[in-house]
């Protein structure tokens, strides 16, 4: 099952609509200042990254720019605590299936989460339509 971690941003809505259009079930973990991500959730997301915090941090955010000097000096645990208290340090949305992780919405990259069987059936359908048209 896919899980979207996000606040309700425009990109979140694009991602959710894309998943609905492709009939892919998902769970939402909407975070806000009153309901921030937990340390456990942040460590979980970190465990799925290739480049650690570099994959998750929103380096163009106001909070990042204001806290950059502090961020550069933080230990992993301190940076996780900082993200808990400043959720805008995270890029959003983040989607995962428990193995793969995608940060931000990109329609082409979302195909990473389409099951192989569904992709094969779509390709087969396109191929059949093409051969039917070319045999006319």
pLDDT digits 0-9 by tens, 10-61:
999 999 999 999 989 999 999 999 999 999 999 999 999 999 999 999 999 9
Model confidence at 126, in pLDDT bands (50, 70, 90)? confident
CB within 8 A of 85, min separation 6: which ones? 36
pTM score of the predicted model: 0.85
d(C-alpha 27, C-alpha 121), whole Å = 25
Please give the average per-residue pLDDT across 108-130, as a whole number: 81
Model confidence at 124, in pLDDT bands (50, 70, 90)? confident
Q: How many helices (H) and strands (E) does the chain have?
A: 7, 4
The fraction of the chain above a pLDDT of 90, given in percent, is 80
d(C-alpha 37, C-alpha 86), whole Å = 10
Q: Which residues of 9-18 are buried (b: 16+ CB within 10 A; e: fewer)?
A: eeebeebbeb
What average pLDDT does the structure give for the chain?
A: 93
> CATH for 2-134?
3.40.30.10
């Amino acid at each position: 099952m896919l899980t979207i971690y996000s606040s309700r941003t425009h990109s979140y809505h694009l991602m959710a609509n894309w998943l609905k259009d492709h009939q892919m079930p998902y769970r939402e973990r909407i975070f806000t200042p009153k309901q921030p991500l937990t340390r456990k959730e942040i460590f979980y997301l970190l465990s799925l990254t290739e480049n650690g915090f570099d994959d998750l941090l929103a380096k163009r955010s106001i909070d990042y720019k204001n806290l950059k000097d502090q961020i550069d000096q933080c230990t992993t645990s301190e940076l996780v605590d900082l993200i808990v208290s400043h959720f805008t340090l995270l890029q959003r949305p983040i989607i995962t299936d428990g193995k793969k992780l995608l940060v931000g919405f990109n329609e082409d990259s979302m195909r990473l989460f389409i099951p192989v069987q569904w992709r094969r059936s779509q390709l087969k359908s396109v191929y059949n339509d093409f051969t039917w048209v070319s045999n006319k």
